Structure formats: C-alpha cells, structure tokens
Chains A and B, each alone.
Chain A
Amino acid sequence: MSKVGIKSYSYCLNHAPETGSHYGGTPWEASHSGGKEQEYLNALPQHLQSYDHALHYAPNQTYIGGISYEEFEAIPAPWVDKPLPDEKSKRYGKFGELMPEDEFLGLISACDEFELVWLEKSFAESVSKKLAEDPVITEAIVKRVVRPKNMQELADIEKEVAERDALPLYHDNKVVGCVRMGHPTDHCLTAHVLMENLAGKASGVLALLHLLKNSGLNPLDLDFVIECSEEGAGDVGQRAGGNFAKAIAEVAGCTNASGCDVRGFCAGPVNAMINAAAQVASGARKNIAVVAGGSIPKLYMNSRDHVKKNLLALEDCVGSFAVLLVPDDGTMPVMRLDVLGKHTVGAGGAPQAVTSALTFEPLQTAGLTFSDVDRFAPELQNHEITEPAGAGNVPLANIKMIAALAVMKKAIEKPAMMDFIKKHGTIGYAHTQGHIPAGVPFIGPACELIKEGKIKRAMIIGKGSLFLARLTNLADGASFLIEAPEPVQAQAASVSKDDIKAMILEALSEIAGKLG
C-alpha cells in the first residue's frame, strides 16, 4: 500500500500580541541591547493589531478555514486595509479557531505539570469560564486552569518575578501571571525557554483538539502522535530530548496514544507527514495525528521593519496545525508514498538543484509532468509580512522557480510561464512561524478542493534552513503529493472470491468427513 487517507485536518491561531511584544525574538533581543533599541521598543506597542482586527484579517480567516482558499485568492493584497465582513470574521472556522490571548494564557497554564505557570486568581477564574465556552476545550482542561497550585495572589507573582527570575505574563498591559524558572542554574530550563515550550505545547493541544472534533475520532482511539514543531524541550544533559507529542496527547485525553517528535527546521512537518504516512501504510499504526504547535520567538520577528515603515506589526499569532492519517479506503483524499521529493546530501544547495529534487525528480519518477500538478504549495508565508522586511514574496518566488524549471525541462513554453504561475501557484497566508508556513497549511484547502472536484492533485513542499544550527551548510527539503481517491474495488472482489472458495472447501471437507 503506497497511499494513506487524509481523514481530517485542523489549523488554529492563538493571538498573542502582549506575549509577543515582550518575548518575541526581536523585541526580546532589543530589550536586552542595553538601551540601543529603545526607540523601536517604545514605538512597537503603537503598531500592534487588536484581536478584532486580527479576526477580520483575510489571511488569518483563510488559515482557520473561516473563508475558503478560493475566496481568499479573489481578494487582492494588501489585505490589511480590506477587513472581511463580520459574517466571515468569526472566532471559529471550518478548520479551527483564532483564540484570544487571555484564553491562551489560561490554556498554557492548563498545560503545565510542574507548577511553572502562576496566574492571578481572579484572572484564572475568569479565563477558565471563557475557555469552558470553547467547543473543543474539555472539562478536564477547564478544571486544570483553576488548580490551586497554578493560582496565586498578584503580590506573590510580583515577588517571584522580582526575586526568582520568573517572567511576567500580561493582559491589558497588566501583570496577570508569570512563568517560573524550572531550575536555578540549567540554561535549558529558564523561565524564557519554558514559556516557549509551554506555549508550543498549548497551541499543539488546541490543534489536536480541533482535529479530534473535525474527524469525529474518539480521543481514546488515537493510536500515535508525531509532533513536528521547531521547539526543543530538554535539560542541560539533552537540550532537545522531547517529547512534545506525548505531552500534547496527554492533555487532549488521548490516553491510548503514544508519540514522538520529528525535527528538521521548516522541512520538519513534511518529513513528519512522510514518516507518519509510512507507519500507517505499513500497518504499524492504526492512525497517526501529525501535530505542531507554534513559536513565541517568531512573534514580531520582522517588526523592526514594520515599525520603521509605519506599518501594522502583523506577526502576532502563534500558529498550529494537525493532520489525521488513516489507511486509504477509497473515500478520502490520499497522500502518495511512491512519489516523494527528497533533497539528497549530494544534491547541492543552488535553488535550481533544490527545486529539481523536490518537484521535477519525483514527478518524473511517477511519469507525471509539472502541469499534472494542479497546485504547488511551497513555503506559504504571508507576503504582506515579509515584503516590508526585505524578504520578498516567498511563495511567488518559489512558484516562479518551479515555472522556470518547467521551461528548462521543456514541460512548458517560456511565454506560458506567467500563466503557469497564476494557475498552478498558491498565495501565502500563513504567519511567519518557521515550520507552520512550510507547505502544510495547504493540506486542508487542497483536500477541500479535491473533495469538491475542483482539483485532482497538489504538491506540498517544505524546505529547511539547516545552516541555522551551525551543524551543516546543506540545504534541505521534502515534498509529497495529495491526490483524489480511487475507489478500492479490486480488493473487495478478490476477498469475496476467496470467501466462496473457503466455504466450498469447508463444505467438501464436511461431506468427506461424513462419508468417512
């Protein structure tokens, strides 16, 4: 079996402007620059987006499935000054939700097992009530928000911040809690690291809960979880030991599941999908949820440029996603395992080599050509965020490279390049959360378009920047195809034939026995 079914998917955002403007990588670095960047830090709060504005922002609604990808494609950028109408700007979309920051802090607290998160009592009580209204948040999670060990008086929280290196959590510009350090000397367990990891865990939990709702799967029937974010959880002896997957499954109530983490920078999610699909296809697992939470350090990553250019700083959401893979039964869109893009060690890092390894080579192996793929989904960063920061339009640059390669391989004529780009490309709408935009946001829309009979095939592409870890200078990437299902009929026919044969043999042996 070289195909697995894509049963369901979920995509969520956690609005986190206050957390981000304190602990996002860029603001955090600026606040530790010895006052050199005070002007930027003073200006940043005036560039933040309200929750209501974030709800009306078309790329966010596309991510959570509040509007369809086709509706989004019909709205030309810039989107920031084209708020969606109220009826298309709800908290809950077809794929997931955009959770407000106070509830996110409550969810982070619910995900804490080691008394690391303290919330001020009245704040904890108020957000637990709000979380109880969320259709995916379980009663058990609501109760965890108000565990006595996670609720403290404001004075105690302030003392913990002042005296014991805890980091304050904010809502409406007031301190409403803190994240405490996990160890007095271990730099892998500082309050800053633990906040990142707990936020990653909490956003992953939200995505998994929505996945369970969207698929109708009983949490007890989930077999395995593969987590694929870019966070590293561990202590000084093993600084990225893991295991986010089991930690997330535990909070989501998936007590019969096990799990492990897969890493590979932005190529992590595509590699996790391939890993999960192979385990389901082989029968090793009954089903697998591929899950990733999001990243606090990526919040406001490009905000220096947004502030400088007097724009809204839009990088205010922690992103997450989950996909449920099950055996192919001929009714669901499928992921093919026989056509995988693989960037080898020897392939080289030139864009041409990477694009060829991830698109042309697997397609050629499968006897397909570029135009057989209805949509290519490479890195899907929202270009309204990246362009003002000088990083260009990443999805457009990628589809241009694919089109140019198609010309070089004589799959299309050069004058047809622009048409190819328009017809086969995708427009980015994902937050700049590293692994989150890496092709995977389009799994949901691709499956929806396949189910509606509008496309037959999409390619999901993830690329990783391995040089960041200073281990190797190699490029990296992986890709796979999603296709429309094919009815599974041959198998049914042969089974019934075998059944008949067995029944005849059984009857004959019975007769033979009686004769004897």
Chain B
Amino acid sequence: MDLQNQQRVKDAGEKFGTDCVVILGSSDAEGAEIYAETVTAGDPTFAGPLAGVSLELPVYHVFDPIIRAECDPAAWEEQISMMEMVLDPDALAEAVKGMREQYSKNVIEG
C-alpha cells in the first residue's frame, strides 16, 4: 500500500477507531492480503506510516458477500459487475478474510 494511502487510513483509524471499516478493491489476491495486513497488523514492508502500527480495523474486499449485499444493485451493475466477471471474487474475499480473522478487532455483523 502506498505511503499516502497508509497515512489516510492511519488518520481515519485514529479519528474513528475500530468502527472504521476499510474496503479494498485490489484486483490481485496477494496484494489484497498485504493491504489487509497493513490496515490491521501494520505495514509488513516497514516502509510506511503504518510500520509497527496495529490499527486492527475491520477490513473487507468489495467482493465480500457482506459488502456486496450493502451495495445499490444498480450502481453495482453499472460500476462493478464487469470486473466481477474478469476477476476471481471468491479468492479475493477469502484473502482478506484470512487477515481480518487474525487481526481485526471488530467485524460487521451479518
């Protein structure tokens, strides 16, 4: 995760605490997992503002069924359905879930 985005998540996390939900849109599972780790346990590359900072935020991929259910179906159709066909939504959601279960303090109750 680039340094600026780390700073933005850090600022939001400090302001709103662990009620602040992070939604990722990464197109590759490996990247999604690293981003999820960054906003929960801290930056694994130790390069950015979240190095050594465990925000423990609830983190989801936009393809997670719980997030998809929250979205306006028309907006989903218009903006995301094409990428749903191109990417592997289940693998992306799973990659983030692994980190969330390990490090997030709160989760969205389904």
CB pair B82 A352 closer than 8 Å = yes
Interface string of B12-33 (1 = CB under 8 A from A): 0000000000000001101100
**B82 / chain A contacts, CB cutoff of 8 Å:** 351-352, 355, 401, 404-405, 408
B81 contacts the other chain (Cβ, under 8 Å)?
yes
- State how many residues of chain A have any CB contact under 8 Å with chain B: 17
**Chain A residues within 8 Å of B31, by CB:** 390
B35 to chain A, nearest CB (A): 11
A407 beta carbon closer than 8 Å to chain B: yes
Q: Within 8 Å of chain A (Cβ to Cβ): is B69?
A: no
B85 at interface, CB cutoff 8 A: yes
A240 within 8 Å of B by Cβ?
no
A330: CB under 8 A from chain B? no
By beta carbon, the residue of chain B nearest A349 is B79
Does B81 lie within 8 Å of A352, measured CB to CB?
A: yes
Interface residues on chain B, number (Cβ under 8 Å):
12
Contacting B81 at CB < 8 Å: which of A355, A408, A414, A417?
A: A408
Tell me the nearest residue of chain B to A409, going by C-beta.
B82
Q: Is the interface of B mostly helix, strand, loop or mixed?
A: helix
Per the bound structure, the CA–CA distance linking A28 and B78 in Å amounts to 42
Interchain CB contact under 8 A, B28 and A353 = no
Contacts of A407 in B (CB 8 A): 85
Which residues of chain B have C-beta atoms less than 8 A from A348's C-beta? 79
- Interfacial chain A residues near B83, Cβ < 8 Å: 350-352, 401, 404
| Closest residue of A by beta carbon distance from B75 | A350
Is B74 interfacial (CB 8 A cutoff)? no
Whether B27 lies near A350 (C-beta < 8 A) is no
At the interface, yes or no: A397 with Cβ under 8 Å from chain B?
yes
**How far, in angstroms, from A405 to B81 measured CA to CA in the complex?**
9
Q: How far is the CB of B41 from chain A (nearest CB, A)?
A: 19
Query: Residues of A at under 8 Å CB distance from B?
Result: 348, 350-353, 355, 390, 392, 397, 400-401, 404-405, 407-408, 414, 417
Top 9 closest A-B pairs, CB basis? A404-B85, A352-B82, A350-B79, A400-B86, A404-B82, A404-B86, A401-B86, A405-B82, A351-B83
